[in-house]
Chain A
Amino acid sequence: MPDAEVLDIPDMDPDAWADYVEQQGWTDGLPLVPPTEAAVARMVEGARGDNEPVPPITPRLMTPTIRSLAANAVMAGCRPEYFPVVLAALRGVLVADYNLHGTLATTHSCAPMVMINGPLRKTLNVNCGSNCFGQGWRANAAIGRALQLILNNVGGAKPAVMDRLTFGSPAKYTFCFGENEEESPFAPYHVRQGFAADESVATVISSEPNHNLNDHGSTSGIDLLTTFAGGIASPAANNISAKGPFFIVFGPEHAATLARDNWTVEAIQQFLFDKARVPLSEVSAENRYRYETGGNFPENGAFKVAPTPEDIHVAVAGGPGKHSAWIPSFGGTAAISVRIKPPAAA
């Protein structure tokens, strides 16, 4: 691994460059944009005035420079104005409660989910609506990808060597979306976390990709929540063994039904906490022993899937359709929200 901050390498065509980055172990498998000094300087300019140091990144425990972080953002295809979001997401995964080391050393299929709130979603054209977890939007694709490349390249979390996931996950390429605040009947997620509505915030959690929650039939809030509680009460999800938080992301149509029936976020959390339980009949004796030695004891013949109602994080995203999403977490992680610092005026 080269140890200089700037590398003088031969000029090369795109095919040779693709081979070069593959040999260096820098790529996620897809082509990368060359991080020329000029391109990196433009990226750094996108975070002008952000002088807060970034801590060492596990497992290599190297302290990055703003240029090495920007190089990864360039390679991922970021515009300079995306870079403050990448930095906020990175700072989030480096908060101790996120448990970055655990999420990389585990064999579970977790990846950093990034949800963006606030006005920057619109400025950057972050997709918050139809297909928000999918392809087609540069901001969603590049911001999540940049974060993952930083963990790979600066952090040294090389897949199958230092990043030990049994399967990995498509979310390891990128998993970034915006909350659909405009179609949500609830206060935006970041406002419920104590930020101002006009602030932009990146929230991260170590999670699986979205699992679909389909309910085309129910016409009331309570029936929708009953369906969802059944959908997320899984004896095979990490949340039962590691007791951590998770997200439920309502599609706007389901959210509208819930709001029409006067369901608040707090009431939804309490309902899902009470009803999404895994009965002992679905848990092997060995697993019961394991969960109990980890401090997760059954109540009334069933295991909880979250420690408290507040560990069930509620957001609204996506477009038309009778679908919502469950985003199970690694378990031993936390949802961390970090304010995105707008670049200082020149």
Chain B
Amino acid sequence: MRIVNPTFGIEPASEGTATAAPVDWLNDPMILFSNNKPNAKELLEGVRQRLSAIRRIDNIDYIAKPSASQPAPAETLNDVVRKYRIALLALGD
């Protein structure tokens, strides 16, 4: 029998695989981005503390989504993209 595929969909137009420009992991500004779930901040703070042994940390900042259940506001993302070169996101749960 011929059936219509219930999973069928059209893929979004390919923009190629996105890759970030090379970064200086030891010096570039970095943002620690929490999804605002319990312990996500503590996890990131712990990583930041350990990073102090191998890179400068005076340009590592912390931010959290306002709500764990909702996407980060566009203005927050714009701000992050403008100010930092590296983002470490914690999806605590």
A5 to B8, CA, bound (A): 6
A293 pairs with B36, CB closer than 8 A: yes
Nearest-CB distance from B89 to chain A (Å)? 13
Task: List B contacts of A113 (CB < 8 A).
Answer: none
B contact residues, range: 20 to 34
B77 located at the interface, meaning its Cβ lies under 8 Å from any Cβ of chain A in the complex: no
A7 pairs with B69, CB closer than 8 A: no
A60 to B10, CA, bound (A): 10
Nearest-CB distance from A221 to chain B (Å)? 33
B69 pairs with A102, CB closer than 8 A: yes
Contact with B along A234-246 (1 / 0, CB 8 A): 0000100111100
A37 pairs with B67, CB closer than 8 A: no
B64 located at the interface, meaning its Cβ lies under 8 Å from any Cβ of chain A in the complex: yes
Of the stretches A65-73, A187-195, A255-263, A319-327, the one at the interface is A65-73
A75 pairs with B10, CB closer than 8 A: no
A63 pairs with B10, CB closer than 8 A: yes
Name the one of A7, A107, A244, A333 contacting B5, with C-beta atoms under 8 angstroms.
A7
B9 pairs with A57, CB closer than 8 A: yes
Task: List B contacts of A173 (CB < 8 A).
Answer: none
Given known A7-B2, A11-B1, A68-B4, contact A99–B9 (CB-CB < 8 A): no
A182 to B92, CA, bound (A): 47
A26 pairs with B4, CB closer than 8 A: no
B2 pairs with A37, CB closer than 8 A: yes
Task: List A contacts of B64 (CB < 8 A).
Answer: 293
A99 to B64, CA, bound (A): 18
A154 pairs with B7, CB closer than 8 A: yes
A71 pairs with B69, CB closer than 8 A: no
Contact with B along A79-116 (1 / 0, CB 8 A): 00000000000000000000101100011100000000
A71 pairs with B36, CB closer than 8 A: no
Task: List B contacts of A64 (CB < 8 A).
Answer: 8-10
Name the one of A40, A61, A238, A333 contacting B4, with C-beta atoms under 8 angstroms.
A40
B3 pairs with A67, CB closer than 8 A: no
B71 located at the interface, meaning its Cβ lies under 8 Å from any Cβ of chain A in the complex: yes
A70 pairs with B4, CB closer than 8 A: yes
Contact with B along A48-64 (1 / 0, CB 8 A): 00000000110011111
Contact with B along A1-40 (1 / 0, CB 8 A): 1111111111110000000000010100000001111001
Name the one of A11, A101, A154, A238 contacting B8, with C-beta atoms under 8 angstroms.
A154
A67 pairs with B1, CB closer than 8 A: no
A295 to B69, CA, bound (A): 13
A286 pairs with B4, CB closer than 8 A: no
A140 located at the interface, meaning its Cβ lies under 8 Å from any Cβ of chain B in the complex: no
B3 pairs with A36, CB closer than 8 A: yes
B22 located at the interface, meaning its Cβ lies under 8 Å from any Cβ of chain A in the complex: no
Nearest-CB distance from B38 to chain A (Å)? 6
B8 pairs with A4, CB closer than 8 A: yes
Given known A11-B1, A36-B3, contact A68–B8 (CB-CB < 8 A): yes
Partner-A contacts on B (CB < 8 A)? 1-12, 36, 38, 64, 66-71, 93
9 A-B pairs with CB atoms under 8 Å apart are A40-B4, A56-B12, A67-B4, A75-B6, A99-B71, A153-B6, A154-B7, A156-B7, A331-B67
